[in-house]
Structure formats: structure tokens, C-alpha cells
Amino acid sequence: MKNYELESFIKSFLLFFFSLTLLVVVLFYFDYKKNIENLKNEIFTQMRMCSFDLKCPDFDLKFEKKESIKPLFLYEDKGGLVSYFNFLGINEKYLSIRYSKQKYKMKKEKYLKNIILKYIFIEFILMLLSFLFSYYALRPLRDALLTIEEFIKDILHDVNTPITTLALNSALLKDDDKNMDKIKKINHSIKKIVWIQDNLKSYISDMPTQKDIIRLRPIVLDQIKFFSSIYTDISYQIVGDSFKVYTNKELLSRILSNIISNAYKYNKRGGTVIISCDSKHSKLIIKDSGIGIKNPSKVFDRFYKEQSRGTGIGLHIVKKFCDELMIGVELKSKLSEGTEIILDFSKIKI
């Protein structure tokens, strides 16, 4: 089960389970209140029987003066439950029958214990039902996503052959100076297609787990050289001292590829891309002089894009891989001024 599938499953499970749990808690509250009322009625009935025969070892009996107390009512005070009865032959006093606070508390705790045991059993049933409901509710969606992924994989596989053919044939035409500009454009287009293909493969494939100690600058240079050959009017600078990071090289290359691609793609004509290596704080900063982003808080959302071109998954892939590798990622942007992305490697332990 992939991360987004697991996330959907957990959210569905929690929503269904806690909704039912809330309903059960309310029902059990009223059930408990009803049981306590029944307990009081049961004790009061025993008190009435006791007032006739006085054979009631569970109760404390004594006579009290008649004041503003109503007989034949059950009262609850600090001492427990008490009721007052008229006693034959004694007009000035009531017979007070009291059920001690300790005994009453024990009775209530017994009721509460039974309800809790019943509640735990029902919660277990609800958990099982929530699990089954979430699994079967999301299964059609999961099957549809798997079908789409298989379809994309088939397309990517089929595209390999024409791309390879185009690349080989364009290489054979390099000696032809007459069509050199056209050949360069073809090669740039091929590179873009290959890059999009690699991005899609990264998006639908399982993430590699192997990590190594990697020097950052060579990976940055590889990506810069690749995109500089496509966007020839954009200049670049790499400043600061390189440093090493303990991470997965393939995923890190894909992260840098998407960030640097956007820095070139959405730059202004004749713009610049500046990459700063902050070895002291283990940070890499990619800054461009591009068109900027209107809603920086949304750029990591899947399929969000502000321009007509692009797929809207590039920065989502960046966030996904950064989370996997424990790389902090922060984006700052202003319209018409450019965008700055900071990759923080300080949390990675070597």
C-alpha cells in the first residue's frame, strides 16, 4: 500500500470509527444515567419495605424531628441516600432510613464497570467494522489508481523506442552544419521528453531506500548543465562551499531536477539562477529571477499549477521525496521578482 493509499485508508477509518464512537459514548452516557436512576428506585423500594418490618441490615435507621422534610421522597446528600417515613405510634418524628455513601458508591462503580466492559467490547466491534468499511470503500479507488499506474507504465515503456530512435538519428545528423540549429532543437525536445518520462517514473514507482554519503556540488552541476543546454538564454551561478550529505542519490537528483527545471522554465528572458551552498548550516538555496508564484502555500499540492504548461506534480514530487529523506524544504516567492527554495539537510544524520 502506497503512502497516499495508506493516508486515505487511515483518514476514512478514523472518520468512520470516531463518528460511531461519539454516538456510542452519547448512548452509554444516557444508559448509565438510566441505570443510576433504576438503582435509586431499587434502593428506595427496599427502604419502603424496611419501613414496615425494620429488617434491613444494609440501612442505617434512626428517628428525626419532623421539620421541613417531605416523607416518601429519596434524597441524596453527603452521607449517601436517605428517605423519611411516618412510623406508627410516633407523630413527632420521622423514621430516617439511610443508605451509606460508601455502599452507594460501590453500587455505582459496579454499574460503571459493567458499562465500561460492554463499551470496550462494542469499541472492538466498531474498530473491526471501521476497518472493513474503509478497506472495501477504498478498494474500487485503489483498483482504478493501479489501473492508471499500469497504463502509464505501459505508455512510458512504449515511448522508450521512439525516443531512442530519435536520439540515435539526431546524433547521426550532427555533422550536417546546414541543419545544426534544427538538430539542436530536436535534441532539446528529446531531453525534455526524457525528463518528463523520468519524472513520471519517479512519481509512480516505489522509492529506493539505499543511502550513501554524497557530495552535493557534482549533482547540482549535472542538473545545471542539463537545463542550461535547453534554456541557453538563462545564466547561472554556483556560490559557496560544497558539503556532503547522507541520502539517496536518485531521489536527491529528482528533487534538484524539479526545482532547477522550474527555476529555468519560469524565469525571465536573460534571467539568472543562483545556487548557494551553505555548508555551515547544511543548506542549499536555489534562487531565480523569474515570474514568481501567486500562491506559494499551494505549490506543493498535487496537480496545482499557475501556468498553462506543466503537469503540476513537479513540486509535489519534491515535497514527497524531501519528506521521505528528512530534508526540510521551504519556498519563498514574490510575483515578478522570483522564487527561492531552501533545502535544509541539517536533520539528516550521517
Nearest in space to 325 (alpha carbons), one of 302, 341, 347? 347
What is the rounded CA–CA span in Å between residue 330 and residue 216?
A: 18
- Torsion angle, alpha carbons of 321, 326, 330, 331, to 10: -10
- Least confident range of 205-209, 251-255, 261-265: 205-209
Beta strands 338-344; 283-288: pairing state: antiparallel
What is the rounded CA–CA span in Å between residue 294 and residue 91?
A: 89
Would you state the pLDDT for residue 161? 66
Residue carrying C-alpha cell 471501521: 130
Q: Which whole number is the average pLDDT over 213-223?
A: 89
Q: Which whole number is the average pLDDT over 159-183?
A: 66
Buried b or exposed e, range 221-242, using 16+ CB within 10 angstroms: eebbebbeebbeebebeeeeee
List, for residues 243-254, the tens digit of each pLDDT value: 888 988 888 988
Would you state the pLDDT for residue 311? 66
Q: Which whole number is the average pLDDT over 322-336?
A: 90
Please report, for the chain, the start and end positions of each structural domain, with discontinuous segments joined by +: 3-136, 208-344
What is 95-133 written as a DSSP string?
EEEEEEHHHHHHHHHHHHHHHHHHHHHHHHHHHHHHHHH
Residue carrying C-alpha cell 527561492: 340
Residue pair 272/234 in contact (Cβ under 8 Å)? The answer is yes
Cell of 173: 545528423
Would you state the pLDDT for residue 329? 92
Would you state the pLDDT for residue 339? 93
The more confident residue out of 40 and 204 is: 40
Q: Which whole number is the average pLDDT over 306-328?
A: 81
Residue 138 CB-half CA count within 13 A: 20
**pTM greater than 0.75:** no
Would you state the pLDDT for residue 1? 62
To which CATH superfamily is domain 208-344 assigned? Histidine kinase-like ATPase, C-terminal domain (3.30.565.10)
Residue pair 304/318 in contact (Cβ under 8 Å)? The answer is no
Residue pair 50/97 in contact (Cβ under 8 Å)? The answer is yes
